[in-house]
Amino acid sequence: MNRSILLFVLAASACLARAGEAPIFADGFESPRAPDCVAGLAPASLQAGDLGPAPGGSFQLLGCLEVANDRGFERSSVAWSGVPIARDVGLTDDQLSRLALVAPGNRQVAAQFSVVSRWGGPLADDTRPIRWLGVSAAARVGPGAPSSYALVRYAAPPVSADPQALVVDESDGRIVIDTGIGRFTLDPAAPALFERIEAAAEVGGEFTTIVTSIPGAGPFLELADGTRVNTSGDGAVVIDPDGFEVIEVGALKAVVRVNGHLVAAGGASLCDATDPPYERFGYTLVATFYRGRSDVLMQYQFRNECSNGDGEPWDDQVVNLIEAGWRLPLSSDGATAWYAGSGDARALENLPGTLQVRQRRGGGSPWQRRADVRADGEAIETAESFDAPLIGVQGDRFVVLQQMPWMRFREPQALTLRDGALSFDVVTENLVLGEGKGLWNFARLAVEPAARAADIEALRADGLAELERGLLWRAEPALLAASRVIPPLGTGQPSAVAGAYRDYLETIHANMLGKQWAAAKTYGSQLWPDVQFNEQFGSTFNATPFENNPNPNYWNPSGAELLEFLRSGEPQWVWDFALPQSWLQTFTAYLNVFDKRHGRSNGATVNSGGFGEGNWHRNAFGSDDYTYNRGMALAYALRPSPAMQQRFGHAGQMVIDRYGIPREDEASRDFFLSRISPERGILQHFENLANCAEFVPGDLGMACHEKLMEVVDELTVDNLRAGMICQGDVPDAAACDWPQTFMITAMQYGFFLRLYLNYDDVLAAPAAAALERTLTSLPAIYYDLGMDPAGGAPQPFAEWAALQSCSIVGNEVDACERFDNGDGVDIIFQNRPHTLSLGMLAHWLDPTVDLCEQSRTLLDQLFDGTERFGPLSDYLGEDSGWYKGAAQVVQMLVYAVGLYETRCR
């Protein structure tokens, strides 16, 4: 049995050992019985996903999945996310029908499985085993509690009837999605998409039309000069060629995606940044439907795609808007309007012509946030912000409710009832939309029987939780460790380093939510929830958001929080900041010209910082080496998004085009645009390429995979030499100039580790060998030659080198010389703890390296209890949240915490 299989067996055994159950081995099946790792609330009903007792037949436990609820009320909903699966489990596409999810009470729940990524190859290569498995399944979770489910693979497809399975009919040029109590008729050729939305009070009941398509339905736009575009005849809304796609269909869930453009009359929407000009206003709508539900989740991306895509200025193609959003005309006005702002939801018996719940543009002197509810132009409620806005209409049979998440931060936005139509307005007052920027937005339309209006507060809370706290499946530690998708994150055993690390994350997280956003004025749909450059918010405040100078995901704080979710299972680490921040970067901060191929920066950062509405991320300093996107792969894997997948493809195509000069012609490469070297900015582009190669389907994903293999071959031959990372497109054969130590620790090592863990079995032998040698030897070289200038054994407070250049004889290190890192510093300080993670990772990959106990001892000395946060203390600033230094020093520290607890196994 090889080491990977052994790890999987041990992990499965550990998962079951909590209840004293015998292990289920990876090479066989056992008689049917309920896995004892299951705990929590049993599913409540067939409509809630209960398919009855778990099927009989032999099965194999693949692992335990947890879903957590940090809200103060019970939730019963569809949880969906990606979960990691070990390569040696050998899960393939033809086995998806043999999977099931076993819930508490030994019940099978309605579930649907998909391929998010594969081991060692692109999505299009169905001969490769599944690496990240998409799991969508009904879940029931108590207040403030987790539930655990078992992911099992049967020897044969289980017989499990679901009389309430979602049904999709694609006849007559329409797509009809029947969820049991909702029926959605979609017209793939119509920009409004929803031809009709119907609802029934119960399964098998009579359907009533709720939403119907009329002129003006669907996307709409108004420019500051009065130019209007909608589907009623003002301009034109067009679906792009091949712009409609059914992304996923199953018994539990259906997902469709539409790409289109809003075209103003007379060329008013043309972008003249290129010749020939092209249409500026692109949009993407992703609609998700669930079995047994009559609601629809809508993700709406609206874009200003105008940019030359090539160089400064990055702020001369802005556009001024008045209004943009999506309109859903109701078939009946109903009799009662509902709205909620700050307090309880209220009913208006006399239905107004216009009712709007708005998070307005902030203003005044001093500047302050502003929210209001207006009925026929008259303010009936005002506040600084609304935490749980809602709008709706109640008729004789149904109440129709609409919500948007995070409106309190993302001004100016609104929920609107006007002339018998509901709309979610992603722009609702004058807004400057920046060059090559998109606005990411979500909305939920829910239809409930009219009698449920008596439970309006429960519906409101549950709907907001669906949007801002969507239920996620998380692989429990044993399954995660066995998967080897990432290194182990530990077992939760207490230690000084784990305590300091956790306290540090919690403090920064709380400061950001409670202080930094308020002090920096991080409000606005193009700004929230970005981070700052330095720790500047103790007594210093921005007067307005326009003074905010954000820095796009600087050193990847979102990735640090997403890893903590995998470690702890707590939803806050995904939803408070990390996932919205990842969307902000993907759609807004990074240049977004959608599928255009001109320029050199689509999908990458073009500037770090910037001031003024629309020009955040566009008119400050820096270059496209500030992408810092190492956390994006995890953000997507944990919450797969068709819109984010598209952006991975666009960025990957940019990298293919930009780095198109082959190795045999490398002398002709441009130093700034096309050289291939393991340096910060370039590796960030190759992270884009790796995301495309791993997650994007079809020919483009294949092309990205082939380009990634080409790049890895060149880097491993040219730059991974003598067990080190050497800079330069064509490094000196006798010398190796290292990147700065903190960059190796926070970026380069992690990039090469990602490649090795995923692709080691498909790389050419020299490339695989060079990767393995570098990952295991580089830490040992640094421990020997970089930690003590006197050449002694590593000491925790010695002068660890900030930069080195080493001479090479043959293919071995001869000697190393220290240098200033370019910032006037020749010693690393706060970066010491996560630098030790490299030694532990090397030991994890190859125990003969024997750096584990030495690294654990050094961590004990660094975190000796004299300071609460140990050597991380200096990066907390004055009550600051995430910023450059604070994020940089924890990029790999979670692995040191995990490997410390497992003794690097």
Summarised one tens digit per residue, pLDDT across range 196-222 is 999 999 999 999 999 999 999 999 999
Most confident listed range (272-276, 431-435, 739-743): 431-435
- Percent of the chain at pLDDT > 70 equals 96
C-alpha closest to that of 263 among 298, 293, 221: 221
Tell me the mean pLDDT in the region 593-598: 97
* Angle separating helix axes 832-845 and 893-902, nearest 10 degrees: 50
Q: Are 231 and 216 in contact (CB under 8 A)?
A: yes
Burial of 344 (0-12, 13-18, 19+ CB in 10 A): exposed
Summarised one tens digit per residue, pLDDT across range 284-299 is 999 999 999 999 999 9
Q: Where are the alpha helices (DSSP H) in 409-568?
A: 456-468, 477-483, 496-511, 517-520, 557-568
Apex 486 CA angle, 579 and 738, nearest 5:
95
Q: What is the DSSP letter of 621?
A: B
> What distance in Å separates the CA atoms of residue 710 and residue 663, rounded to the nearest whole number?
9
Q: Are 218 and 235 in contact (CB under 8 A)?
A: no
Which of the pair, 491 or 313, is modelled with greater confidence?
313
Summarised one tens digit per residue, pLDDT across range 335-350 is 899 999 989 999 998 8
> What distance in Å separates the CA atoms of residue 178 and residue 210, rounded to the nearest whole number?
14
Residue 137's φ and ψ, nearest 5 degrees, are -155, 150
Counted residue by residue, the chain has a size of 905
User: In the structure, what pLDDT confidence band is assigned to residue 795 with cuts at 50, 70 and 90?
Assistant: very high
User: In the structure, what pLDDT confidence band is assigned to residue 19 with cuts at 50, 70 and 90?
Assistant: very low
In DSSP terms, 75 is beta-bridged to 141
Summarised one tens digit per residue, pLDDT across range 689-721 is 999 999 999 999 999 999 999 999 999 999 999
> What distance in Å separates the CA atoms of residue 237 and residue 781, rounded to the nearest whole number?
60
Q: Are 393 and 400 in contact (CB under 8 A)?
A: yes
* pLDDT for residue 630: 84
Q: Are 299 and 285 in contact (CB under 8 A)?
A: yes
Summarised one tens digit per residue, pLDDT across range 547-563 is 999 988 889 999 999 99
C-alpha closest to that of 860 among 843, 891, 836, 890: 836
> What distance in Å separates the CA atoms of residue 627 and residue 608, rounded to the nearest whole number?
9
User: In the structure, what pLDDT confidence band is assigned to residue 27 with cuts at 50, 70 and 90?
Assistant: very low
Summarised one tens digit per residue, pLDDT across range 493-538 is 899 999 999 999 999 999 999 999 999 999 999 999 999 888 766 6
User: In the structure, what pLDDT confidence band is assigned to residue 160 with cuts at 50, 70 and 90?
Assistant: confident
Burial of 635 (0-12, 13-18, 19+ CB in 10 A): buried
Residue 13's φ and ψ, nearest 5 degrees, are -65, -40
Buried b / exposed e over 698-717, threshold 16 CB at 10 Å, is eebbbbbbebbbbbbbbbbe
Q: Are 302 and 223 in contact (CB under 8 A)?
A: no
* pLDDT for residue 133: 98
Instruction: Please state whether the peptide bond connecting residue 104 to the residue before it is cis, i.e. omega within 30 degrees of 0.
Output: no
* pLDDT for residue 232: 94
* pLDDT for residue 537: 64
* pLDDT for residue 270: 97
Amino acid occupying residue 837: S
Q: Are 436 and 305 in contact (CB under 8 A)?
A: yes
> What distance in Å separates the CA atoms of residue 342 and residue 382, rounded to the nearest whole number?
9
* pLDDT for residue 22: 32
Tell me the mean pLDDT in the region 244-271: 97
Beta carbons within 10 angstroms of residue 78's beta carbon = 24
How does the average pLDDT of the chain come out, rounded?
Answer: 93
* pLDDT for residue 5: 31
Beta carbons within 10 angstroms of residue 593's beta carbon = 31
> What distance in Å separates the CA atoms of residue 727 and residue 71, rounded to the nearest whole number?
49
Q: Which helix (H) or strand (E) holds 587?
A: none
> What distance in Å separates the CA atoms of residue 672 and residue 691, rounded to the nearest whole number?
22
C-alpha closest to that of 128 among 160, 87, 158: 87
Query: How many helices and strands in the chain, by DSSP H and E?
Result: 19, 39
Beta carbons within 10 angstroms of residue 45's beta carbon = 11
Amino acid occupying residue 755: L
Taking 90 as the threshold, does the pLDDT of residue 154 lie above it?
yes
Taking 90 as the threshold, does the pLDDT of residue 34 lie above it?
no
* pLDDT for residue 877: 74
Taking 60 as the threshold, does the pLDDT of residue 373 lie above it?
yes
